[in-house]
Structure 1
């Protein structure tokens, strides 16, 4: 079918329009990713889906189609998407959480795009986290247990769909698709959202994609980053079974993440022990504990605290 046929499915009018099945979504995204895809039809599909609200079958089908175009990449233990954009947030403390997980021998693949927010990309260099291509990811994971794969290098066609936000003026479901992409087919994934309703959507999509271990939280600025002074509701899967749990606050201090006036050099300083900030440390260990839990650790909180105490403070790449 042409893209026009998929536009009709979504937009034929009240009482006749419907959502895509998973197969239809996969077929539609396959066409949308082609260089000759009609831009008017692509925009119509994305905005019609935004108006009605996407469902898990559509997200799963889109993610399947997008992943089919990716080259094979060495499989990590943990998939860590980073796609928050468009909102002021604090420093990227969660990068230290990912480092902490890698420091314990787990292979962590971060991937993403954050629009005009350069804090995460700049933070990678500050922490010695290698930026890779699909061809070099395996070597970097072997060497450091951690790597970051930019979406624009990993999947240029999907990147073009994501950045249609600049043309359309609105977020589309591609943001969620990128979070569900799991480009190297890791067995576990951690995901942050800004809007809480997406936690269940992504958990349901994970079931359709046979992702057996997933944690989704409303995180700092939309990233997978725990706010330590607030109770946290987590959703996802554990060994293929739906999971949800509420975690109490970790610390009494009240502080907004986005109010942090520290400069970016505070992040590596905390890792090296040159900065004493219990709140920031609680962000790092609390987020790492959730990642360890997703990976199946027996006592993730104790592991995160012990890993922090025993971390290698050398940040050389």
Structure 2
């Protein structure tokens, strides 16, 4: 017969992370968001693995239910940047790619490739193919000859040689990748999907961000403003950094601590019909001039213009330069 466990006569000490969970989850009247300082401390503990799995799940879902604030995103970002201690590598555009595409092909990849061919240094990063039925950047790297890097040293080399590099989140922030991967366990995306878009780990001259859900664009812009970053946030097609030429685009920008807004009109008088299926080879055919695609070419040019707008061009000059880049593109090597 198994001996009964002895009675616990002393109150166990509370886990240090419990205070953050309690702050977020203490009922309708008692709960509140985290301050920037609390957010930085909480994320620091998460990155150090100093929390229990139950606490991690509760924390992420409470944030998801409440919806993260600019102060929380800024605090989380500061903790990640401090933890990373990334090397000094010159980058023009930080280009997070975490959503995947399901309605249209990922034309943004041709935009990034064309910009890089013209000397714009771009860091792409993503979190893997986490949702069925979507086409992700990671799945097209070989097709479009985009360097896959697995270390900061490889990133530096790729940027020097090609002005373009893709660095998987799992290789530079595995703790965050684990949190993203919890979606299959928790059933919902966590705030880490949003956080990854703000991080700009190398301090690029401009961070581009695509936030699909209405209302979140201003939150992300404010987080970047609090951090002192230069950023442009848009509602990109499918959640990726890609201007949809069929609709009006609102740019939420922040430069030198000042927020600004800009409206870009639709480039097409009527909506294009979405393709019946997504065929990656079609991207290559359009690039090489073997096929034409009205929607795709407008998306590429306007997305390049977005990046050039982030680098200091006004809208008119950005579109003119983008069109010149596209018309003079070379074949993918």
TM-score by length of 2: 0.89
Equivalent position of 2:301 in the other structure:
285
CA distance in 2, matches of 1:29, 1:11: 17
In 2: Cα distance, 1:11 partner to 1:262 partner: 42
Task: Tell me whether 1:105 sits opposite 2:123 in the alignment.
Answer: no
Tell me which structure has the larger Cα radius of gyration.
2
Q: Does 1:75 align with 2:90?
A: yes
Deviation of 1:297 after TM superposition, in Å, equals 2.1
Number of positions where the alignment pairs a residue of Structure 1 with one of Structure 2: 312
CA distance in 1, matches of 2:200, 2:289: 33
Cα distance change of structure 1 residues 155 and 262 upon mapping to structure 2, 3 Å threshold: closer
Partner of 2:240: 223
Post-superposition shift, 1:286? 0.7
Query: More displaced, 104-113 or 238-247?
Result: 238-247
**In the TM superposition, what is the alpha-carbon distance from 1:264 to its structure 2 partner?**
0.7
**1:21-72 alpha-carbon deviations (Å, 9 max, x no partner):** 1110010011112234201111111111122221000011111112222242
| Distance of 1:52 and 1:246 partners within structure 2 | 29
RMSD after superposition: 1.7
**What is the CA distance between 1:82 and its match in structure 2?**
0.5
Residue of structure 2 in register with 1:189 after alignment: 207
Measured against aligned partners, the alpha-carbon deviations of 1:119-163 in whole angstroms (never above 9, x if no partner) come to 421222111110112221001000000011111112111111111
Contact 1:189 1:215 in 2 (8 A): yes
Distance 1:102 1:196 in 2: 30
Give the SS at the match of 2:139.
Answer: helix
Q: How big is the shift at 1:104?
A: 2.0
> How far apart, in 1, do the equivalents of 2:198 and 2:221 lie?
10
Point out 4+ residue stretches in structure 1 off by more than 6 angstroms. Answer: none
Q: Secondary structure in 2 aligned to 1:242? A: strand
Per-residue CA deviation, residues 257-281 of structure 1 (Å, 9 max, x unaligned), is: 5x45351101111111111122210
What is the CA deviation profile of residues 143-199 of structure 1, one whole-angstrom value per residue up to 9, with x for unaligned ones?
A: 000011111112111111111111110111111110011111112011111202111
Contact kept? 1:66, 1:158, Cα under 8 Å: no
Q: For 1:42 and 1:266, how far apart are their aligned partners in 2?
A: 42
Matched residue, 1:130: 147
Matches within 5 A, 1:131-150: 131-132=148-149, 133-150=151-168
Between 10-19 and 74-83, the greater mean CA deviation after superposition: 10-19
Change (3 A) 1:279 1:167: same
5+ long unaligned stretches in structure 2 = 1-14
Distance 1:69 1:43 in 2: 21
1:200 is aligned to: 218
Q: Which residues of 2 match residues 156-305 of structure 1 at below 5 A?
A: 156-212=174-230, 214-257=231-274, 259-298=275-314, 299-305=317-323
Q: What are the equivalent positions in structure 2 for 1:44-123 lying under 5 Å apart? A: 44-73=58-87, 74-85=89-100, 88-113=102-127, 114-116=129-131, 117-123=134-140
Q: Measure the CA separation in 1 of the matches of 2:108 and 2:179.
A: 26
Summarize the Cα distance change of 1:188–1:260 in structure 2 as closer, same or farther, 3 Å threshold.
Answer: farther
Please say if residues 229 and 252 of structure 1, whose CA atoms lie closer than 8 Å, have aligned partners that are also in contact: yes
* Residue 312 of structure 1, CA deviation: 2.0
1:75 is displaced (CA, Å) by 2.7
CA distance in 2 between partners of 1:41 and 1:120 (Å): 32
User: For 1:211, what is the secondary structure of its paired residue?
Assistant: coil
SS in 2 for 1:135: helix
